[in-house]
Amino acid sequence: MKVSKKILHLLFAFIALASPCAGKSLSSGETALVVARLLENRHYSRQPLDDTISQRMLTLLLEDIDYNRMFFLQSDIDNFEQAYATTLDDAIRRRDVSAATDIYNTYLRRLERLISKLPEFLADPSLVDPRGTAEIRRNKSPWPKDENDQDNIWRQQIASAVVQERLNKHALDKPETVVAKRYERLFKTARNSDSQEQAKMFIKTLARAYDPHSEFNDASEYKSFRIDIGLRLEGIGAILRPDEGYTTVAELVPGGPAAKDGRLKIKDRIVAVAQGNDEFTDVVDMSLDKVVELIRGEKGTTVRLLVIPARAADPSERKVIEIVRDKINLKEKESKAELIEMPDGRGNMVRVGWITIPSFYFDVEQTGRPDAPSTTRHVATLISRLKKEGAAGLVIDLSRNPGGSLEEAISLTGLFIKSGPVVQIKDETGWIRKSMDLDPSVLWDGPLVILTSRFSASASEIFAAALQDYGKAIVVGDRSTYGKGTVQTYIPVSSSRQLFSFMPPPADADALRVTIQKFYRVLGGSTQFNGVVSDIVLPSVTDIEEVGESSLRFPLPYDEVAPLNIERKDNSEVIAKLQTLSAARVAKNREFLDVKEDFARLTARMNANVISLDESVRRAEIEQEKVRRKNRKEARAKANRPEYPSYQITVETANEPSLELRQAVLDRKRKEAQNHRATKSTEDDESADDEENLLSGERPEIDPIKDETLNILVDLVNLSGRSDTVQSR
């Protein structure tokens, strides 16, 4: 019998992973060695465990322990570099994970010394010098030169925290008390860390040294992950991430209580949590697990979040958001459409369609049923109704789509192309598989625009890239999408199961989430790192380098494979014309001028990276920001914005004889949200009207990106000569 090289390679890899420790639980050192072997043999990069991995691990360990470079001295860093920069790989082979404990103990000594000085600093009337400034983030600043330099940095950060609490109108206690409790909790948590936790941190950095999406979960974490998946339909519907001491909102689930409420935003930072009407618990510098535990709860219970808004003019700005935990309405997660009538610039009205796809979903529990919920089936239903209504062009909105099912991305692409390749997938052995659409039928061959953003990732990027490569769509939005072009799988970290590591890990096992494949476009370029570059870029406050794969530590690089031979339409001339027409409109659009101003202010603030310690200056800046928002709100109210008929289409209503006006739908949802949310102050709501709430429900009513995307689509309709679908009014 002839055996393929790929099968032989996998057999040898499995055999190599066999451990002499079969039949018993693994020690931390043995676990580290098994994880290392798995990463060497199964990770896409096939990167050996060597000095490169050792240096990356040390970098991650130092960042995880002292993210703001406040506690370690430069001399400590020099010692760590000398001792561990090129030796952690060797230590893993010896089953030695003691480096993490050594580094952590140094941190604990430095932290204890600084905590001992905290009462003295907080009691000093000259702590806050109004002439001084503080760094907002120190993650790229030099490490303290010595203890005197460290004391100055420590005083500066303490002073900044005190000023921030003084300006906080939702103060939990006296500013000095809040700051003291916060750092005392940090020290207590640090002191309670044991060698097992430090060893786990060591192994986690080993996985992340290969790429940011590879991750080690011990048995309790993996079990919790499985529980979260099973209970994913209850809670507030928010995905949280740690970010330099804060818990940050990474994603809001469409249909979830937080998304329906509408006030919690992507990149908001949660600083305190309260149950019902109980007092707030400060969660700054609290572990993510404990914060999630405070926020998670049963349906019908209430949680209050105290957050720093993502676009706060000052870090002292706070907003209280009360959310009733509930089950997520699956219907809200389905794709939906609008039929919009708007002028074509030639004296006529044209009908166009807008389809919002929140994710690439498929209900595996209903596999085989013809009515099983799926993105492709739902979008096909919506397109059929739009065609029946005479839509001349179509927008596919992926701007809030983080990805999902690869199979759905491929089958959805098939609605727009004849049979052919959609994506190339390369594994760790170098073998390239072509995923094909085999159905020659095409449901939509008219003008098509795909709207993306920095939050469009994974399966969204595959779909957008394929249609861009075939020349079937114009991609509009941020400069590029997120740039996640990799596939991960879970492998059990258990010596007795290594020969069967293609099986899912049992619930009670340690598990390694490892990157095993990489996506490539049909024309050869990877969607990894660079994402999908827009044909037409629109001004956006989300178009920042801090959002995306390139902002993460040690991402896999962009590269290319051989392009495939496809029938491709050349859109270069059309794109050039569309760019010119769009640029002229954007330059005169008041809303885009505001977006550009916001982006410039945000960029300047991030680049300056300093904030005044003068309370009067800070209060004046906060008032100026309020005035700016108020003036914008008033200008919008006075603006004579044209309103065009827009009809809502859902999967359920697609076959109804008549369509409902979208405004009626929005009014109903707004009323539901008002009943759902707690009473709040007007001040808390000031930033809500002009913020695009990505990944959470409806787009804002005043949305220049949506307006301009529709204008681009109408231009495309005109250039395509589809006058038969233009209706006179």
Q: Which has the minimum average pLDDT: 19-28, 438-447, 687-696?
A: 687-696
Q: Which has the minimum average pLDDT: 88-92, 101-105, 244-248, 597-601?
A: 244-248
DSSP annotation string for 654-687: TTSSS-EEHHHHHHHHHHHHHHHSPP--TGGGTT
Q: Which residue has the higher pLDDT, 372 or 283?
A: 283
Query: Residue 507: what pLDDT?
Result: 61
Q: If you average pLDDT over residues 26-55, what whole number do you get?
A: 96
Q: Is the pLDDT confidence value at 679 over 50?
A: no
Query: Residue 25: what pLDDT?
Result: 73
Query: Residue 370: what pLDDT?
Result: 74
Q: If you average pLDDT over residues 484-500, what whole number do you get?
A: 75
pLDDT tier for residue 592 given thresholds of 50, 70 and 90? very high
Helix axis angle for 195-208 and 28-42, nearest 10°, is 10
Q: Which residue has the higher pLDDT, 168 or 40?
A: 40
What's the CATH number of domain 334-485+526-641+702-727, 3.30.70.120, 3.90.226.10, 1.10.357.10, 3.30.420.40? 3.90.226.10
Judged by DSSP in three states, 407 sits in: helix
Query: Residue 172: what pLDDT?
Result: 79
Query: Can you give the residue ranges of every domain in the chain?
Result: 48-209, 219-327, 334-485+526-641+702-727
φ/ψ of residue 90, rounded to 5: -65, -40
- Structure confidence by residue, pLDDT tens digits, 359-373: 998 876 666 677 778
φ/ψ of residue 269, rounded to 5: -110, 125
Question: How far apart, in Å, are the Cα atoms of 681 and each of 140, 308, 321, 566?
Answer: 38, 16, 11, 57
Judged by DSSP in three states, 723 sits in: helix
Query: Residue 693: what pLDDT?
Result: 42
- Structure confidence by residue, pLDDT tens digits, 417-436: 999 999 999 999 999 999 99
* 237-255 exposure pattern, b = at least 16 Cβ within 10 A, e = fewer: bbbbebeeebbbbbbbbbb
Distance CA 443, CA 574 (A): 23
Closest C-alpha to 487, from 450, 454, 527: 527
The model's pTM is 0.87
Closest C-alpha to 333, from 256, 250, 395: 256
Q: Which has the minimum average pLDDT: 63-77, 551-565, 619-633?
A: 619-633
| 142 secondary structure, DSSP code | P
* 384-401 exposure pattern, b = at least 16 Cβ within 10 A, e = fewer: ebbeebbbbbbbbbbbbb
What's the CATH number of domain 219-327, 3.40.605.10, 2.30.42.10, 3.50.50.60, 3.60.150.10? 2.30.42.10
**Hey, how many other C-beta atoms are within 10 angstroms of the C-beta on 206?**
28
Q: If you average pLDDT over residues 606-619, what whole number do you get?
A: 93
Q: Is the pLDDT confidence value at 13 over 60?
A: no
Contact present, 541 and 601 (Cβ < 8 Å)? no
Q: What is the mean pLDDT of the chain?
A: 87
Would you name the residues annotated as active-site residues?
A: 458, 469, 484
DSSP annotation string for 431-480: -EEEEEE-----S--S-EEEEE-TT--THHHHHHHHHHHTT--EEEESSB
Q: Which has the minimum average pLDDT: 154-163, 259-268, 323-332, 399-408?
A: 323-332
Q: If you average pLDDT over residues 165-193, what whole number do you get?
A: 90
Per residue, the 3-state secondary structure of 168-186, as one string, reads: CCCCCCCHHHHHHHHHHHH
Query: Residue 259: what pLDDT?
Result: 82
| 725 secondary structure, DSSP code | G
Query: Residue 547: what pLDDT?
Result: 87
Query: Residue 8: what pLDDT?
Result: 38
Question: Percent of the chain having pLDDT more than 70?
Answer: 85
Query: Residue 686: what pLDDT?
Result: 44
Q: If you average pLDDT over residues 188-200, what whole number do you get?
A: 92
pLDDT tier for residue 504 given thresholds of 50, 70 and 90? low
Q: If you average pLDDT over residues 178-189, what whole number do you get?
A: 91
Query: Residue 239: what pLDDT?
Result: 81
Query: Residue 227: what pLDDT?
Result: 52
pLDDT tier for residue 233 given thresholds of 50, 70 and 90? very low
Q: Which residue has the higher pLDDT, 219 or 531?
A: 531
Please tell me the total number of residues recorded for the chain in this structure: 729
pLDDT tier for residue 94 given thresholds of 50, 70 and 90? very high
Q: If you average pLDDT over residues 701-709, what whole number do you get?
A: 91
